Structure 1
Amino acid sequence: EFQHNRLLNDYQPSWFHWVYRGKEKIGLVCFKPYDNAYHIHLLIISPQYQDQSLGKKVMSLIHEKAHQEQRNQVTLSSFRNNTRAIRFYQSL
């Protein structure tokens, strides 16, 4: 409920980007510019495409975009109980 309301009220549509593999939508990422950085709010890869390093590739592309725009950092947030996401981000 909390996350649903936040997505509806606090997030701009321009922050959301489909993740494609070829022409197929396989995930969604939400990141916003702030100060001299990007903040990643959400990264979802469809279950059938997980464990193929696609999330890692998305993160790499966001870092490249930040670098090209001379942003100093990429930050993120995750729910504490989302241990799988936390392990993924820590592995990067």
Structure 2
Amino acid sequence: MLIAGCTLSHPLVGRWKTQSSEGTESVLWFKSDGTFEAIAKGENLPGKWTFNEDTNPTQLELVFEDRTVVTIAKLNGDELLIEPREEESEMPTTFSDNAQKYRRQ
């Protein structure tokens, strides 16, 4: 099922926080209207999100003003795993040790 911020509350909706190995906190705030805010290093980057559960693994698309990032994600209760991906790199099929681990706030 492809979900683009539907009117029903999707389990991804809410605030998610992670901390890098350097101690930098990042927040993703997914809203039910299909928009989100990425907050890191004092920057607030708005965009739109899509969570495609018809793929295996699930794909997360984040559309920013100047770029689009499509990668894999896994939602498990209050834990969200996102594989980092550069625009030009190949679509990942598995999660690496570099996967970002978010917790619901």
Structure 2 length as normaliser, TM-score?
A: 0.26
Query: Which structure carries more strand by proportion?
Result: 2
